[in-house]
Amino acid sequence: MLSRRLFLSTALAAPAWTQTKAVKPPRKDRFHLFLLIGQSNMAGRGLVADEDRKPNPRVLSFNKEGLWVPAVDPLHWDKPEVIGVGIGRSFAFEVLKANPGITVGLIPCAVGGSPIDAWKPGVFYEPTKSHPWDDAIRRAKLALPAGTFKGMLWHQGESDSTPELAPTYQAKLDDLIGRFRSELNAPEVPFLAGQLGQFPDSPWNEARKQVDAVHRSLPSRVKAAAFVPSDGLNHKGDKVHFDAASYRKLGKRYASAYLRLGKG
């Protein structure tokens, strides 16, 4: 009896994603898949509310165990003590509105704090004891056969906004996009880059402006690419991460950028 009580207590305390049962995805052409990549503002650090825990049968997530489950926040697990609301669900809901009859599948792969140099083959990122690039490619190759690969959502650059790293950011980002498209056999799949947070109480330095310019100019350098602005969004109090409401708004902006590319 004691062991049963301990099991029940543990189950009730477990994170939401460990309690969600796997579901069978729809047929491949109706299952539109999106890769979520970058650092913490893609992983999500917003405060989770009841609305973020309500599953939608047409929005699924590829979980840590490699199973398709209803997508509820938090979607990521990179830093379990701080994970929260991100952009994934609000992005998916907007895509659904424009594409009746499909199901959206999200493939979470973001790693909080990771500089772009961590997104290279074989690189081990010590803070999360993970290999951001290798893990993302492995998970993508496991997930993509179930559906149709439709887009890559990238939010990253805070860790590269330094005088030493910013000057080489453009070359590294363009290389990363090329590697993803080559490795996943996806030369035309859209790549969406989100703008870093613009917070009045945390002015940008020159390095961050340089990284921002790389993001802004992406559509002029790379085919099937879009820039997603962060104007008017708020941080959660740490001057780095968006608050939950802003993540939801940003997800909608990613969706608008994706749909404007005409790839929906």
How much is the average pLDDT of 157-171? 98
Q: Is the pLDDT of residue 1 over 60?
A: no
Residue ranges covered by each domain of the chain: 28-259
| Residue 58 burial (C-beta neighbours within 10 Å; 0-12, 13-18, 19+) | buried
How much is the average pLDDT of 42-59? 96
Q: Is the pLDDT of residue 199 over 70?
A: yes
Q: What percent of the chain has pLDDT over 70?
A: 92
Looking at residue 10, its pLDDT comes to: 32
Residue 37: beta bridge partners?
154
Question: Yes or no: is domain 28-259 CATH 3.40.50.1110?
Answer: yes
Q: Is the pLDDT of residue 135 over 50?
A: yes
| CA 45 centroid distance within chain | 12
154 neighbors 228 (Cβ within 8 angstroms): no
Q: Which two tokens stand for residue 47?
A: 């405060």
| Residue 201 burial (C-beta neighbours within 10 Å; 0-12, 13-18, 19+) | exposed
How much is the average pLDDT of 119-131? 97
Looking at residue 8, its pLDDT comes to: 31
pTM score, whole prediction: 0.92
Rounded CA separation 31/9 (Å): 36
pLDDT in tens, 172-194: 999 999 999 999 999 999 999 99
Q: Which two tokens stand for residue 15?
A: 């994170």
124 neighbors 5 (Cβ within 8 angstroms): no
Rounded CA separation 221/12 (Å): 49
Q: Which two tokens stand for residue 227?
A: 């820039």
Q: Is the pLDDT of residue 214 over 80?
A: yes
